[in-house]
Amino acid sequence: MGIGGYSVLRQLGYGNVGTFHMDEGHSALLTLALIEEQLATGSGTSVTDEDIVAIRKRCVFTTHTPVPAGHDQFSKNLVERVLGGDRARLLESAGCYHDGSLNMTYLALRCSHYINGVAMRHGEVSRGMFPGYPISAITNGVHAVSWTAPAFRDLFDRHLEPWRRDNRYLRYAIGMPVDDIRRAHKATKRAMLAALKSRAGVQLDEKVFTVGFARRAAVYKRPELLFTDIERLKWIARHVGPLQIVYGGKAHPRDDEGKVTIQHIFAAAAALKGVISVVYVDNYDMQWGQILTSGVDLWLNTPKPPEEASGTSGMKAALNGVPSLSVLDGWWIEGCIEGVTGWAVGTDATSEPKAEAASLYAKLDSVILPMFYGRPNDYGRIMRFCIALNGAFFNTQRMLSQYISNAYSADCWGHWPTRIGNTQVAAGDKSSPPASRQSGMR
């Protein structure tokens, strides 16, 4: 991908790219193409520290996951077989092996001047995983127009006219009438119920509080946390207020543990039968993502901290005025204002499944359901805050402008230390900040 991407750009005539952005380690062999280019134009056969610094100036790297299996590494043998002996030797002479293997993350880290995680907490976690590297953070966002349901697009067109061109206008949702938001949500909920009827043959009740949980069925996402105590859940539905639940998500074909989590959901659904309706949407895709994130009354997320790098589905929900109830991890640490944009499961410091489940039930039965059924206008105000505070911020426009200001401008040379692990960092790094930084404001 990295080598091919580089030559595609060349073939298309983009010979003079200022900044290459490697999104995740998969494209890190781009650096090999740049090393070859550097050698062809410069000193000749062996890679010098100065060559690495020159490449570093042209590269930006975003790391995406705190889960170790997400960081590819390949044995020397495999590298030789796939890339050939010459390229394998070049990587070795450039100091690009880590502990004897080609680790795509370390390769990208070594060759980038700006490095970031995808939420503030993920930046912190990544600094712990890769000590010594100057890792910043830019929080992910979702494409606002694509993830806003038709009823809310119409509403925003009426009240926040330039919002499609400039998502920051969503901030002024704070002045929209709550009734309009509730009316738009009624339409998105109806659209979801109709879609569920035709897909799954189940008719859910429009008046009943509806919880949504849909994403890849990976173990760290813990879809079954809500079902920790089936009797408690039944008690809540009987005594506090009725609820119904929509699930969605498929497992990676080779992720057997992920598949087991789906079986657990089906078992729980059977155990809840007659008290709480649970619908499972199979073959969950982006179209269903849009239907569910906009149609439910509450978006649930219960990952195992700190494994959720960012998460994005809660951002989609926020654009449609749907509050989140979520474990404090990834973007939600930034997006959660308790009782304003949604609610937290547990606290930032705890991650004990029993305590988290207890907190989840307590929020449902003493805070969220009483408000939904007893004070619908208060619930409507929460929906409005979701759009004004979170929809206005956690979108792609804001994200991209942060990449432009922080990663792509000439002003963002990271603070590289002189030594990383056992490696002396290439000479010249410390003197590398561009003049604009040196003369800039303090």
CB 119, min distance to ligand PLP, A:
11
Residue closer to ligand PLP, measured from CB, 319 or 412: 319
Residue 323: CB minimum distance to ligand PLP, A: 15
Task: Count CA within 13 A, CB hemisphere, residue 296.
Answer: 30
Query: 303, 141, 295: which is closest to 217 by C-alpha?
Result: 303
Query: Distance between CA 253 and CA 167 in Å, rounded?
Result: 37
- Nearest-angstrom CA–CA distance, 377 and 390: 19
Q: 40 — alpha (psi -120 to 50), left (phi > 0) or beta?
A: alpha
Only one residue has tokens 């930034």, namely 334
CB of 367 to ligand PLP, least distance (A): 22
Rounded CA gap, 198 and 287, in Å?
14
What CA–CA distance (Å, rounded) separates 4 from 406? 27
Closest distance of CB 67 from ligand PLP, Å: 12
For residue 126, the minimal CB distance to ligand PLP (Å) is: 18
Closer to ligand PLP by Cβ: residue 103 or 313: 313
Residue closer to ligand PLP, measured from CB, 213 or 379: 213
Closest CB to ligand PLP among 164 and 216? 216
CB of 177 to ligand PLP, least distance (A): 29
Compute φ and ψ for 153, nearest 5 degrees. -60, -45
How far apart CA 207 and CA 189 sit, in angstroms, is: 10
Minimum CB–partner distance for residue 302 and ligand PLP (Å)? 10
* Nearer Cβ to ligand PLP (160/309): 309
Residue length, the chain?
A: 442
Least separation in angstroms between residue 115's CB and ligand PLP is 22
Q: Which residue is nearest to ligand PLP (CB)?
A: 289
Nearer to ligand PLP, 127 or 216 (CB): 216
The single-letter code of the amino acid at 374 is G
Alpha-carbon separation of residue 439 from 17, 176, 287, 409, 411 (angstroms): 26, 45, 49, 15, 11
Return the number of the residue (26 or 216) whose C-beta is nearest ligand PLP.
Answer: 216
String of DSSP letters for 166-178: -GGGGGGGGGS-H
Query: What minimum distance in Å lies between the beta carbon of 316 and ligand PLP?
Result: 6
Q: Which is nearer to ligand PLP, 200 or 271 (CB)?
A: 200
Residues within the interface to ligand PLP (CB under 6 A): 215-216, 284-286, 289, 301, 311-313, 316
User: Could you write out the DSSP letters of every residue in 133-145?
Assistant: S-EEE----B-HH
For 140, half-sphere exposure in the C-beta direction (CA atoms, 13 angstrom radius) is: 24
Residue 426: what are its φ and ψ, rounded to 5°?
Answer: -50, 140
Q: Which is nearer to ligand PLP, 83 or 281 (CB)?
A: 281
